[in-house]
Amino acid sequence: MTLPQRTALVACLLPIITIALSYFLTVQGGHKPWCIPYFEGCTTITATGIYYPAAYVFRAGLISAAVVFILWWYCVRAWLESVGRPEHHPWIHRIVTFAIIASMLLIASIAVLGEHMLPPSDHRFLWRFHTVTAGLFFLVTALCQIMMTLRMRQLQRELNIKFSRIASKQILAVLQLLLLAAFVLILLLDLKTDGVEEIFEWWLATFSCLYFYTTFHDWRDFRLTRREKELALQQDETLQEVTA
C-alpha cells in the first residue's frame, strides 16, 4: 500500500470509527437513545462528542482526522500536478488552500465541544461558533471535492483513471451538494423538521468521508515520495529480470 493510499484510507476510516465509537460511548452513558441515526435521526453527530468520556475520543479522533484531511489534500495537489500541466497549477493550489482552511475550521469546531456546553441555552455563542465552523467545513470541503472532480475529468486521460471512478466521485459530490442545499432551504424557510436535519448531517459526513476513500484505487500507482518511486522502480526491474 502506498503512502497516499494509506492517507486516503485513514482520512475515511478515522472519522467514521471515531464517530461510531463516540456514539457507542454516548449511548452506553445513557445520554442518547440506541438507534440507527442515518434513518431515525435520533441524535446529531455533535451530540456524540459532548458527553464524557465520548468527548475525549471525539476530539482526539476528529482533530487528528482534520490534519489527515490536510495531508490528503496535499496528496491531491501533488497528484494533479504530476500530470505536468502548469496552467492548471494556480487553480489546484486555490482549491487545496480553501480545503485546508476548511479542515482548520473543523479543528476549531471540534475543539470547543464538551460537557461545558451544557445546557445549550447558557452557551449560545459556543454552539453558534461550532455550528458555523462545522457548516463551513462541510460546505467548503464539498465544493472543493466537486472542483477536484471537474479537474479530474479534464485530466482523465493523463491520469489514466477509469470513468467509473470519476463517476463515483461525481455521485458523492452531487449528493453532498443536494444535502447542503436542503440544509440551506430548511434554514431559510424555517421549516419544522423532526430529525431530518440530523439524518442529513450523518449522511453528509459519511459522503464526505467516502469521497476521501475514492482516491484509494486512483492512487495505486501514484507515489508521493521520491523514496516510494525508487522502490517501485526497483520492484519493476526485479520483476522484469525474473520474467526474462
Partner 1 sequence: MTLPQRIALSSFWLSHLTFWLTLALSMAWGVTDICIPYLTGCTSITATGIPDPQAFIFRGGLIAACVLFIVWWYCMQAWLIEIAPERPIWTVRYMVTAGIISSVCLIIATAVLRPDKGNLPWILHTVGAALFFLISLAVQTRITYWLKHLAKRGVDIGSSLPQKFILVYAQWFFLGVMIVLQVADSDDRWKNVVEWWMALLIGLFYLTSYRDWADFRLTDTE
What are the residues binding partner 1 (CB under 8 A)?
52-53, 55-57, 59-60, 63-64, 66-68, 71, 74, 77-78, 81-82, 107-108, 110-112, 114-116, 224-227, 229
Residues 6+ apart with CB under 8 A from 213: 8, 9, 11, 12
CB 10, min distance to partner 1, A: 10
Listing DSSP states for 159-210 in one string gives HT--HHHHHHHHHHHHHHHHHHHHHHHHHHHT---SSHHHHHHHHHHHHHHH
Cα(208)–Cα(15) distance, integer angstroms: 10
- Cell numbers for 29, please give them: 452513558
CB 206, min distance to partner 1, A: 22
Q: Is the dihedral of CA 115, 121, 122, 123 positive or negative?
A: positive
Closest CA to 114 of 22, 204, 219: 22
- If you search the block for the grid coordinates 494533479, which residue do you land on? 80
Contact 169, 152 (CB under 8 A): yes
- If you search the block for the grid coordinates 482552511, which residue do you land on? 101
Cα(30)–Cα(17) distance, integer angstroms: 20
CB 29, min distance to partner 1, A: 13
The per-residue b/e assignment along 207-219, b for 16 or more CB within 10 angstroms, e otherwise, is bbbbbbbbbbebb
CB 76, min distance to partner 1, A: 11
CB 185, min distance to partner 1, A: 31
- If you search the block for the grid coordinates 508521493, which residue do you land on? 224
CB 127, min distance to partner 1, A: 13
Cα(101)–Cα(30) distance, integer angstroms: 36
| C-beta closer to partner 1: residue 75 or 173 | 75
CB 210, min distance to partner 1, A: 22
